[in-house]
Amino acid sequence: MPFTIPGQELLNLEFRVVPGGFTIEFPAYISNVTDRYSPMWNQFFEIGRADHKVLYNKFVREIDIQFRTIADGNYERALGLKLKLNELAKSTYPRDVADGFQGNFLEFTIGALYQKEIGYVSQLQYNWDNTETPWDAGNPFYTTVNMSIVWIGKERPRSEIDAYNPGSRGDWKPVL
């Protein structure tokens, strides 16, 4: 019988390493998503004024996601998940190029909220809680993944672009 988490939907997460093009897919239960928008401003003071002037400096968006992969008590699935987790971890390593090394970008899809967005992994952590994770031949059946992705996007950030993929349900219409 497949493992389920009551009240949670099993979603397919997809990460495609750019360049390289290989895709890592996880059926997973999402525990938490945090989408942080951080506009940064510089303050300048002028002689003769008590208040300061502000100038928009830069923008950073970071998406934190926590999800759980589950092998359903199946040894072959546990091995498959281990290989996928390994490939995701390897996406954080640099690639050797002629003049040094370069990092990897990810094209990621998380349900209907983020579809084929571009970013890079700034933090990746795997947790195996031995009080609730069964093991078979040294392979865990459950893995909790915490990762942070710095969003780059498909085009430069500006107020005219959407933050999310609107209308990902064909029948959805906004109520304004």
Reported as a single tens digit per residue, the pLDDT across 83-141 is: 999 999 999 999 888 889 999 999 999 988 898 999 999 999 999 988 878 888 888 88
Reported as a single tens digit per residue, the pLDDT across 56-74 is: 999 999 999 999 998 877 7
Query: What pLDDT does residue 165 have?
Result: 64
Query: What pLDDT does residue 141 have?
Result: 86
Question: Would 165 be classed as within a structural domain?
Answer: no
Does 19 sit behind a cis peptide bond, omega within 30 degrees of 0 on the bond before it?
yes
* Helix/strand/coil for 10: strand
Overall domain count for the chain:
1
Residue type, 172: W
Question: Would 156 be classed as within a structural domain?
Answer: no
Q: Rounded to whole angstroms, how far apart are CA atoms 95 and 24?
A: 18
Question: Would 33 be classed as within a structural domain?
Answer: yes
Which residue from 148, 3, 22 is spatially nearest to 83, judged by alpha carbons? Answer: 22
DSSP string, 111-166: TTTEEEEEEEEEEEEEE--TTT--EETTEESEEEEEEEEEE--SS---TTS-SS-T
Question: Would 1 be classed as within a structural domain?
Answer: no
Tokens 């996928």 correspond to what residue? 84
CATH number at residue 97: 2.40.30
